[in-house]
Amino acid sequence: MNKENEKASENILWDKILLFFNEYKSIFLITLISGILIHLYIITNKLTNWDDIAGIFISDGWLEFGRWGINFKQLIFPHVSIPLFNGIMALIFVSLSACLICDILDIKTKNNRILIGIILVSFPVLAGTFSYMFLAHAFMLGFLLSVLSVYFAKKDNKYFTILSIVLLILSLSIYQAYISITATLLLILLIKDCINIKNTKQIIYKALKFLAILFFGLLFYMVITKIILKVFQTSFANYQSMDSMGKLSVFGIVRGIYRCYAHLVEQIIRKHIMVPTISTRLFYTIVILLDIGFICYILWKNRKNKLNLLMMLLFIILVPITMNMVYILNENVEYHGIMMYGDCFIYIILVLFIDKVAKKYRTALKFIIFAQVFLYIGIINQYYLEMQLSYENAYSFYQTVITNIMNTPGYDENSKISIIGKYNSKELYTESYKDYVYFTGIPNGYDMINAYSKIQFINYFLGFNGNFIKEDEVKDYLENNEEFKNMPIYPYYGSVRKIDDIIVVKLSDFN
């Protein structure tokens, strides 16, 4: 009997999975194909940055960042930075996430579902993530897990609640910033309940349940992470104040809340990495104002149920905080572009309101979203162009450097080589395009030439495997050396020479 029940449960589960994919297969395919077309530039070319260069064939050392889940991806995926494979896998995960978000938010209209998918794959954060191609598929798996956590949290079942916590832990173990996706989706569900459910106790129960999922997800993640660090005899890296994550203070929380709201306002009043042009900032401002207008309308319409109204108001006030939750969890964090996927809810919230307005206004709302998507697509491909030009600059630069090294008197295959300093001459490269605003992971020529992984760049992309010595290993020896002091800065004559048994390339003095 137990076996029969177990088999019946498996059949029911399989039937539900098939039903889900039958309902959302067209949305999945449209989102995936759109993503491939939007990001075709980077998934069909090897565009790279400093971290991607270092991680082309290596993907370890993530324990110190609390990202132990990345280590497990190697059991499924090759740990090689392959643009086509990694890029399409990442887009598959985003497309699945789009389908799940439509289901979670109960979006019925096909056009609105398509809008959700298009928003996710055209968001500039994804371009920044793709610049770290060696991790792009892992990161987007973390994104998918953050959405799946909400999918099961929505179910009224204690086992699904436990599964939701587990999925949140796994998402955090890949990339902690995606908790903003989980938290914001949960809040939107509560706001919808305040509108649709009259039973206030039921809403409070669900709010406490969602809060418990977030709390225990974070708590168990931190406990597991600390156990793993202890087992492997290491500690949190002093990067982005990882070692102080979770150590909250009243001042830090207040400052974090301020930064969450300031983050949204900044995009209206000045050029920002998420809205780098006047036109993107204009459409962003329009969307924000429309969101506020519709929210005020919903609050007014539901004013009769005072308790529900107060709870809805509280949940709405919390949305900007959950969208940028990292500010709260780590008061010293430098908020990088690839952490800002939560900003996509600015547009998703507008999609939720489209069917609430008269038909004659729906086209205008869709046009506003599609206009911003179109502008984002242009910006994304400008980023990719910038990456290609930066690569070409660095390739040409180091090809000439290697030629100079090999032409240095006394050079042979056993010669020690050391590249000193950072190259910073305006003679050999130009500024980025005028609308360019630095986005996390998108390098310019200076970044690529002076990357910490420049030796790997020379090894992998130029095929030169010389006997390189790190700068800090020869600093004490060369810093007080008169011959080195008198050397001109590269590329001028005498900037590459042999000092004792080391061929020195002087890009600048020691930093």
CA torsion 155→159→162→163, rounded to 10°?
-70
Whether 394 and 310 map to the same domain: the answer is no
- Write down the pLDDT at residue 476: 87
Helices 83-104, 2-38: crossing angle, 10 deg rounding: 120
Render 243-283 in DSSP notation, one character per residue. GGTT---HHHHHHHHHHHHHHHHHHHHS-BTTB-SHHHHHH
Three state DSSP letters for 82-135: CHHHHHHHHHHHHHHHHHHHHHHCCCCCHHHHHHHHHHHHHCHHHHHHHCCHHH
Burial zone of 244 (CB within 10 Å; 0-12 exposed, 13-18 middle, 19+ buried): middle
Confidence of residue 7 (pLDDT cuts 50, 70, 90): low
Whether 312 and 431 map to the same domain: the answer is no
Residue 380: inside a domain, yes or no?
A: no
356, 376, 400 - which closes a domain: 356
- Write down the pLDDT at residue 329: 82
What one-letter code names the amino acid at 318? L
Whether 283 and 396 map to the same domain: the answer is no
Average pLDDT, rounded, for the chain: 89
Please give the Cα distance from 459 to 456 (Å, whole number): 5
78 within 8 A of 85, measured Cβ to Cβ: yes
Whether 280 and 132 map to the same domain: the answer is yes
What one-letter code names the amino acid at 302? N
Residue 379: inside a domain, yes or no?
A: no
What are the tens digits of pLDDT across the range 165-209? 999 999 999 999 999 999 999 999 999 999 888 788 899 999 999
Residue 371: inside a domain, yes or no?
A: no
Number of independent structural domains in the chain: 2
- Write down the pLDDT at residue 337: 86
- Write down the pLDDT at residue 359: 83
What are the tens digits of pLDDT across the range 226-277? 999 888 887 776 655 555 555 677 888 888 899 999 999 999 998 888 999 9
Confidence of residue 427 (pLDDT cuts 50, 70, 90): low
Three state DSSP letters for 157-213: CHHHHHHHHHHHHHHHCCCHHHHHHHHHHHHHHHHHHHHHCCCHHHHHHHHHHHHHH
Mean pLDDT is lowest, of 48-57, 73-82, 486-495, for: 73-82
- Write down the pLDDT at residue 317: 95
Burial zone of 452 (CB within 10 Å; 0-12 exposed, 13-18 middle, 19+ buried): exposed
Which two structure tokens, joined as six digits, stand for 418? Answer: 């050391």
142 within 8 A of 96, measured Cβ to Cβ: no
Whether 339 and 451 map to the same domain: the answer is no
**Residues pairing with 502 in the sheet:** 416, 499
Q: Which of 49-53, 355-359, 474-478 has the highest mean pLDDT?
A: 49-53
Q: What percent of the chain has pLDDT over 70?
A: 92
- Write down the pLDDT at residue 430: 52
Residue 16: pLDDT over 80: no
Phi, psi of 420 (to 5 degrees): -110, 135
Count of positions (residues) in the chain:
511
Whether 433 and 330 map to the same domain: the answer is no
Residue 483: inside a domain, yes or no?
A: yes
- Write down the pLDDT at residue 141: 96
Contacts of 112 (CB under 8 A, 6+ apart): 102, 351, 354, 355
Please give the Cα distance from 248 to 286 (Å, whole number): 35
- Write down the pLDDT at residue 373: 97
Whether 254 and 400 map to the same domain: the answer is no
503 within 8 A of 404, measured Cβ to Cβ: no
Whether 249 and 307 map to the same domain: the answer is yes
What are the tens digits of pLDDT across the range 435-467? 566 788 999 888 899 999 999 999 999 999 989
Task: Give 10's DSSP letter.
Answer: H
Residue 430: inside a domain, yes or no?
A: yes
Name the residue with tokens 């903003």. Answer: 180
Residue 286: inside a domain, yes or no?
A: yes
What totals of helices (H) and strands (E) does the chain contain, helices first? Answer: 21, 4
45 within 8 A of 87, measured Cβ to Cβ: no
What are the tens digits of pLDDT across the range 310-366? 999 999 999 999 999 888 887 777 778 899 999 999 999 999 999 888 788 899 999
Residue 366: inside a domain, yes or no?
A: no
81 within 8 A of 55, measured Cβ to Cβ: yes
Taking residues 144-160, report their average pLDDT. Answer: 94
Domain, as residue range, for 456:
387-506
Residue 220: pLDDT over 90: yes
Helix (H) or strand (E) holding 503: strand 502-506
Task: Give 442's DSSP letter.
Answer: -
311, 338, 356 - which closes a domain: 356
Whether 61 and 207 map to the same domain: the answer is yes
pTM, to two decimals: 0.92
Q: Which of 451, 441, 475, 472 is nearest to 397 (CA)?
A: 451
- Write down the pLDDT at residue 61: 66
Whether 131 and 195 map to the same domain: the answer is yes
- Write down the pLDDT at residue 229: 87
Contacts of 37 (CB under 8 A, 6+ apart): none
Whether 328 and 433 map to the same domain: the answer is no
Whether 396 and 257 map to the same domain: the answer is no
Contacts of 144 (CB under 8 A, 6+ apart): 93, 94, 96, 97, 100
What one-letter code names the amino acid at 458? I
Residue 375: inside a domain, yes or no?
A: no
335, 356, 377 - which closes a domain: 356
